[in-house]
Amino acid sequence: MKLLFISAVDKAEAWREAMLNELPELEFRVWPDEAEPRDDVDYALVWRPPHGLLKTYPNLKAILSLGAGIDGIVCDPELPRHLPIVRLVDHCLTDGMSEYVIYWVLHYHRHMGKYSRMVADGKWSNLPQHDTRLRRVGILGLGELGGNAARKLAALGFDVAGWSRSEKDIQGVTSFTGRDALKLFLARTEILVCLLPLTDKTAGIINAETIAQLPHGAFVINSARGGHVVDAELLAALNSGHLAGATLDVFHNEPPPPDHPFWSHPKVAVTPHMASLTVPHYAAEYIAMNIRRITAGEVPLNVVDLDKGY
Ligand code: NDP
Ligand code: OXD
């Protein structure tokens, strides 16, 4: 059984070790391997593979994503669409994302940025403390990651709502679905978190119109994809005072160019696409489980629906 790793070469050894630990019989190859035959590769384990590459492996059984988001795979115009594309779902990735979201929600809820600035200026005073039960957090996307973050924020006592395609039944979380409900969802959201996949329907969803529907003084946390945000419109809302702050982990270009206003904007916190990282040791368990399922003739878990785009 042969697997081809198509990602940053400096990560290959950690992945080889993790995968062979799970599947000792696996032949683990690392792209580029131009001298090797292409017709005996069974699986491609990928992060943003070059366009047109996957179609040159004629006997692939599946494309296994190294990330939860598969926008960097499905954007390939020559993608072999008959193959199952398997998303990464792993407790370590999920827990890490919830930690990131909770960290920044608490940061805004407890005015930690303002306190840091006050203390740096030698000021000793208090700001009003909000009732957690009245703090309205809204999560765009209630899937593996958004659903977990919503559940944990609700357990902390926040007033949590989420927006997804299909209705959700998560304890303590109000579920909104569909475009019409988006407006109502935004109107009640003081801290907006984006955990949507990047698709034709969600690209640019954080724009002048949707931001205007948030209450004055709202915060935005985007840890999904840079393409969800219309940068200039987010900046305009921060500059006008309508938005009180934004935390951005993902960008149209990563890293953003050195002169991008996000880097130095006083109301923007930038993190380097680290909201949650894939840890080979844990992810390999899940990937190996799906390879075993495919070998046994079963359908792998978490196959992308190409019609929906996620
Ligand atoms: P899932 O596929 O599990 O969840 C996606 C959610 O978005 C679902 O609730 C889905 O609704 C909802 N959704 C999708 N399209 C629409 C739409 N048009 N309208 C309303 N709701 C929609 O994805 P994950 O939770 O696993 O991951 C989410 C994203 O997080 C990834 O795609 C990736 O881009 C990003 N990510 C970022 C990381 C980082 O470090 N910054 C790390 C990992 C992931 P429904 O449930 O009804 O299908
Ligand atoms: C992912 C990511 O999609 O790390 O998993 O962004």
pLDDT digits (tens, 9 = 90+) for 117-158: 999 999 999 999 999 999 999 999 999 999 999 999 999 999
pLDDT digits (tens, 9 = 90+) for 72-90: 999 999 999 999 999 999 9
What domains are defined for the chain? 2-90+278-295 (3.40.50.720), 91-270 (3.40.50.720)
Q: Is 273 a catalytic residue?
A: yes
Q: What is the 3-state secondary structure (H, E, C) of the chain?
A: CEEEEECCHHHHHHHHHHHHHHCCCCEEEECCCCCCCCCCCCEEEECCCCCCCHHHCCCCCEEEECCCCCHHHHCCCCCCCCCCEECCCCHHHHHHHHHHHHHHHHHHHCCHHHHHHHHHCCCCCCCCCCCHHHCEEEEECCCHHHHHHHHHHHHCCCEEEEEECCCCCECCEEEEEHHHHHHHHHHCCCEEEECCCCCCCCCCCECHHHHHHCCCCEEEEECCCHHHECHHHHHHHHHHCCEEEEEECCCCCCCCCCCCHHHCCCCEEECCCCCCCCCHHHHHHHHHHHHHHHHCCCCCCCECCCCCCC
Residue 198 scores a pLDDT above 90: yes
Catalytic residue among 16, 29, 107, 225: 225
Return the ligand number nearest the Cα of 197: 1
pLDDT digits (tens, 9 = 90+) for 210-221: 999 999 999 999
Return the ligand number nearest the Cα of 139: 1
pTM, rounded to two decimals? 0.98
